[in-house]
């Protein structure tokens, strides 16, 4: 069911420092910071030949990644995102299989303007999974 690895998301305490690390030390192509107030994050996209890394910094007091940063003050891997062809079919199959879909189960528009859902990390080896309709 899952297809390409779309991105790995890393929450960071200092987005400019993290972007500089990926650009200057690791030699990657990085975007300018994009504030996404609806998601409570500012994101820098790191373009790799075969996938992307998203560097996420909390935006606003109710950011959903604020608590993660409190637990991991140096930052850390937050989620992996896999592409699916049909997010509704994927959701229905996963629920049927006993996996927990976070929130109300209705896809939301993610950072790439495509529908996304998140799956409970306790059902997937301790990893938060994002599904994005390709």
Distance of CA 19 to the CA centre of its chain: 16
The answer to whether residue 131 forms part of the interface with Co ion (CB under 5 A) is no
Which listed range, 3-11, 34-42, 63-71, 85-93, lies at the site for Co ion (CB under 5 A)? 3-11
CA distance 53 to 68: 18
Q: How many positions of this chain bind Co ion (CB under 5 A)?
A: 3
Active site residue 130: yes
Contact positions with Co ion (CB under 5 A) in 62-101: 81
- Give me the catalytic one of 54, 57, 83, 130: 130
Beta bridge partners of 79: 9, 128
Among residues 44, 130, 131, 133, the one that binds Co ion under rule CB under 5 A: 130
The answer to whether residue 57 forms part of the interface with Co ion (CB under 5 A) is no
How much helix, strand and coil, in percent to the nearest 5, is found in the chain?
Answer: 25, 35, 40
Nearest-approach distance from CB 9 to Co ion, in angstroms = 4
Q: What is the CA radius of gyration of the chain?
A: 15
* Long-range pairs of 70-73 with CB within 8 A, sequence gap ≥ 24: 72/11, 73/13
The answer to whether residue 117 forms part of the interface with Co ion (CB under 5 A) is no
Among residues 9, 12, 46, 131, the one that binds Co ion under rule CB under 5 A: 9
Site residues (vs Co ion, CB under 5 A): 9, 81, 130
């Amino acid at each position: 069911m899952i297809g390409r690895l779309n991105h790995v998301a890393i929450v960071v305490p200092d987005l400019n420092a993290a972007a500089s690390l990926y650009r200057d030390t690791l030699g990657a192509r990085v975007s300018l910071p994009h504030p996404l107030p609806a998601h409570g994050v500012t994101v820098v996209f790191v373009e790799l030949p075969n996938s992307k890394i998203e560097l996420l910094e909390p935006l606003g007091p109710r950011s959903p990644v604020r608590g993660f940063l409190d637990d991991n003050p140096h930052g850390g891997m937050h989620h992996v995102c896999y592409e699916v062809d049909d997010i509704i079919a994927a959701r229905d199959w996963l629920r049927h299989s006993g996996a927990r879909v976070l929130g109300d189960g209705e896809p939301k528009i993610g950072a790439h303007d495509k529908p996304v859902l998140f799956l409970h990390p306790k059902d997937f080896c301790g990893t938060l999974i994002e599904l994005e309709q390709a």
